[in-house]
Amino acid sequence: MDPENSPKKQSLIETRGCRDVSFLDLCSIDQVTKKDLVLIYDIARKFREYKTYKINFNKGNSLVNAFFESSTRTMASFDLSAKQLSMDTTAVGSNCSIKKGESYIDTIQTVDAMNVKVIIIRTKESGVPEMLARHTSASIINAGDGWHEHPTQALLDGLTMLDYFNSTNLKGRTVTIVGDIMHSRVFGSLVRLLKKLDATVRVAAPETMIPKHANKFGVNLYYNVEEAIRGADIVYALRVQKERGANGFIPSLREYSKMFGISRARLDLAKKNAILMHPGPITRDIDVHSALSVVDKQSHILQQVENGASVRKALLWLIGNRYDGKVKSYKKI
């Protein structure tokens, strides 16, 4: 534990400067203002510089990871971030009483009754975190709800892009998102964030994997991946979401890989300094060819993971420890 008033602690406090985020729960990128983004990223950059530095900012607060779907990156980074802020953490998930027929709301209100500060929720259904957020005192953070959104993934992706281009926005930058758009909550949050950052967004996928509502985000649709990647600044690959029945939307994974998988030749169509991103987990040689996945110098996939830890630490400090004293009010049902 760092001593009181150490230079690192002081510099974090100065960076924050008594600022608060505008939201008490985080269910969608729609809740995040441009001002929030600046604040989250200012602090995340400091935490990234200090790596696993442990600080007592959230001491006495508890965090529960309620993951009803599998996770590696998101759950581990929320848990480590909370611990590095001196929070107590525990997990409920695949083995909890939901298996015995308890509803999400009863399970989460049970956890809430233990006076926890933050509950991180991942479900296979869309809309669950938003519904639960209206019935808890604890702040709810959506860690991925079905096909809908995964806001902290988009936040870490935004930081990765902005820092690579050393900019405060993505004006004039083209981001090509390739893959299973239809079933991707990563897409749902990323496209909202990219629009806030003024990026030009191209989407490339088999026609059956592009939902009708994709157009409402003002993206350019492509069924030919080469055309979509040509001249792009960022190539963002998505996994085929087999667990959501995605295999039924393509002839086979082999054909998908042949038509849409990111290969050396395809990545070379992007700008010379373009970067390759992916939220993970990668299905090697299906969505991204193995040689590119993490070792290629254009791949920023592990940088995304590192930024994920920093962004989540910033969020937990901001949500769990407010200067304005705002608290949630809710009605028991």
For ligand MLT, the binding residues (CB under 6 A) are 144, 150, 153, 185-186, 239, 279
Residue number, 39 or 159, with CB nearest to ligand MLT:
159
Residue number, 39 or 186, with CB nearest to ligand MLT:
186
**DSSP letter, residue 2:** P
**DSSP letter, residue 246:** G
Shortest separation between residue 240's beta carbon and ligand MLT, angstroms: 9
CB 331 within 8 A of CB 135: yes
Residue number, 176 or 304, with CB nearest to ligand MLT:
304
Shortest separation between residue 143's beta carbon and ligand MLT, angstroms: 8
Residue number, 150 or 266, with CB nearest to ligand MLT:
150
Q: Locate tokens 């936040």: which residue?
A: 155
Residue number, 48 or 239, with CB nearest to ligand MLT:
239
Give me the residue whose beta carbon is nearest to ligand MLT. 239
Shortest separation between residue 8's beta carbon and ligand MLT, angstroms: 30
- Taking the C-alpha atoms of residue 77 and residue 306, their distance in angstroms, rounded to an integer, is 9
Shortest separation between residue 153's beta carbon and ligand MLT, angstroms: 5
The HSE-up count of residue 9 (CA atoms within 13 Å, CB side) is: 13
What is the SS3 assignment for 174-237? EEEEECCCCCCHHHHHHHHHHHHCCCEEEEECCHHHCCHHHHHHCCEEECCHHHHHCCCCEEEE
Shortest separation between residue 184's beta carbon and ligand MLT, angstroms: 7
